[in-house]
Amino acid sequence: MNISEITTTLKIQLHQHISINDHKIAIESYWGRFADVHYFQIQITSDTNQTPQLGLLRVGKTDGALQKELELRQHLANHRMIAPLLETNIVEHIYISLQPNTTDIPIPEENYAINFNLDQPEDELSELEQLFPDVNLEETSEYLEEEHYDQHIQDIEIDRGILCLSYLPELETSLATWLEPEKELSSILPVIIQFCQLINYISQHGWSLVQINPKAIAITKPIQLYDLVGAFKIAEIPANAMIGTYCPPELAFGRPVDEQMSSYAIGVLLYEAIHNQQPRVSENVPLEIKPIPGIYQILTACLAPNGDRPSVSQLLSLLVETQQSLGQIEIHWQVASKSTLGLSMSRWQNEDTYGVRQQSIGAQSETLMLGIIADGMGGMESGDVASKLAVKTLMEYPLPTNIVHSSKGISQWSEWLLSSIREANTRISRAVRNGGTTLSAVLAIGKELAIAHIGDSRIYLIRKGCICQISEDHSLIATLLATEQITYAESLKHPDRNILTRSLGSSGRFNTDQIQTLKTFGESLFMSLEDGDMLILSSDGVWDLVTPDELCDIFVNCNSIASAINQVIELVLARGATDNATIMALESAIAQQYK
């Protein structure tokens, strides 16, 4: 790490522009002071980048907290979760003026609220006295008064100071912003676990992080820390007593730093993320914690006011175990379906077939849900036989026994689905001459959804009141529309609208590349379902007469999917029902499973 030395005097004043080597700095606001370090929010430009970027300027003593941070950074060796410094400079004399050089521009009050406030309400100090009756509070009160920052603080002079310059995360990606809205536990734990992994790495080098700055932590992949001033060597006794949002209460009385103090800081962060407020730790008043199994025990242990807390490595293991436990979800399905022969004088037999296969699988007892619809090709011989064979094959195809519970296992389920369709094609081509069928299948393993589709039956997803077709039509009309050879209006009355370009069983030579999967829309074969999602499978006898918007309106506004199904079929019949018409709906109810 390169440290430059500047022999001249450097003046730092609010709303001032200064240059440090190649960087031009506009000082926007003063955040406050922690330990002996002063924090300034700045905008940074350089000769190579004229676009202002949010930055952090920290100023302290050469024998103080910033020098210790530089020592820790050497140990961490450019860890990817530690944001690099742009500049580190030793300055012979630093003069800090907290009065803006434009007196009519007020300093925003929120610039001082970064959770470094060392002022403590009188009632909280009395609680600290009760926690540590053997410590004379009068010995620390002078320090607390000295560390209190207000808008009328005197100018500051530092001889032989150190200056650290770095970027800051943009506000929308900072931990401070991430903490504001209510979040699902499933989105909280991955961030806390990442943070705990980093703190554990720091602890392995003999340091303990006891205070954090949410504005100087980026919630990115991975998370990044821009400020390590809150880290102290284990067994070190800080030069002054400390009180901070994430500091354990015993640090207010000069206790030696230990690893468990980091667990307190992580506990405060976890509590804040879950409860949208910071904890008030007291032996007299029980801490209010949401009754979430696993989380309740972790927070109670980490926020113990007497210091009896788990180590960071123990905490990391507990968090991972809890995430795995909470990662189990319960999913229930409501299923409804209906099929009609229709009203056409040329349709004397219903060639549509459908089926549902649902069961628990694996050691995790996940739910497998398979919904299938097939439309025997009307102009060919034995279309009803083809559609029945297709559905029967998928309904009876042996489930694999060696699939692991992982992302690799999810991909193997997709292979199983394609393999079953390949088998169906073989059986149909052997049993039926000049016959074929469409096939649309949805496969949900837990809340992960895959599809397999060939022909012009359709699969729709209704989510949060919006409908989306997730299958594509394998028909001549779809090809003509895609190549702009006809208009949508022309497609509605085109004489060849029933001609398919792909089907199942019409040829013994079959390549699964003909099957559409979710890779049509991206890299993955699966997508995650959400609570309340509805999957709608329909033959062309339905979607030819009922538009997607009408389907969505019916399913969203009906009290149940069964009544919605009946309403759709009634509408098809009212509009002439010129073909066999079949529709199936599967509605998911997903809930977190607590063990």
DSSP string of 122-187, one letter each residue: HHHHHHHHHH-TTS-THHHHHHHHHH---TTPPPEEEEEEEEEEEE---GGGBHHHHTSS---HHH
Spatial distance between the Cα atoms of 580 and 344, rounded to a whole number of angstroms: 8
CA distances from 281 to 119, 192, 285, 399 (A): 16, 20, 8, 53
Are 551 and 561 in contact by the 8 Å Cβ rule? The answer is no
Domain ranges within the chain, ordered by starting residue: 1-107+151-168, 172-327, 341-592
Other residues' Cβ atoms within 10 Å of the Cβ of residue 332 = 11
Q: 540 phi and psi, to 5 degrees?
A: -65, -20
Q: What is the CA radius of gyration of the chain?
A: 33
The one-digit pLDDT tens for each residue of the chain (595 residues) are 566 666 678 899 988 898 888 899 999 999 998 889 999 999 999 888 889 999 999 999 999 999 999 999 999 988 999 999 999 999 999 999 888 765 433 333 333 222 333 334 444 444 444 444 444 444 332 222 233 344 455 788 999 999 999 999 999 999 999 999 888 888 899 999 999 999 999 999 999 999 999 999 999 989 999 999 999 999 999 887 777 889 998 888 888 999 999 999 999 999 999 999 999 877 777 889 999 989 999 999 999 987 789 999 999 999 999 887 776 678 999 999 999 999 988 888 899 999 999 988 876 678 899 999 999 985 555 788 999 999 999 999 998 877 655 555 677 888 999 999 999 999 998 888 878 999 999 999 988 999 999 999 999 999 999 999 999 999 898 888 888 888 888 887 787 777 888 999 877 678 888 999 999 888 888 999 999 999 999 999 999 999 999 999 999 999 999 999 999 999 999 999 999 999 999 999 988 665 4
CATH topology for 341-592 is Phosphatase 2c; domain 1 (3.60.40)
pLDDT reported for residue 498: 76
Parallel, antiparallel or unpaired: strands 17-20 and 87-97: unpaired
Burial (Cβ within 10 Å: 0-12, 13-18, ≥19) of residue 290 = exposed
The verdict on pTM exceeding 0.75 is no
Are 255 and 238 in contact by the 8 Å Cβ rule? The answer is no
pLDDT reported for residue 111: 32
pLDDT reported for residue 263: 96
275 DSSP 8-state letter:
H
Are 505 and 376 in contact by the 8 Å Cβ rule? The answer is no
Q: 172-327, superfamily in CATH?
A: Transferase(Phosphotransferase) domain 1 (1.10.510.10)
Class of domain 1-107+151-168: alpha beta
Helix (H, G, I), strand (E, B) or coil at 465: coil
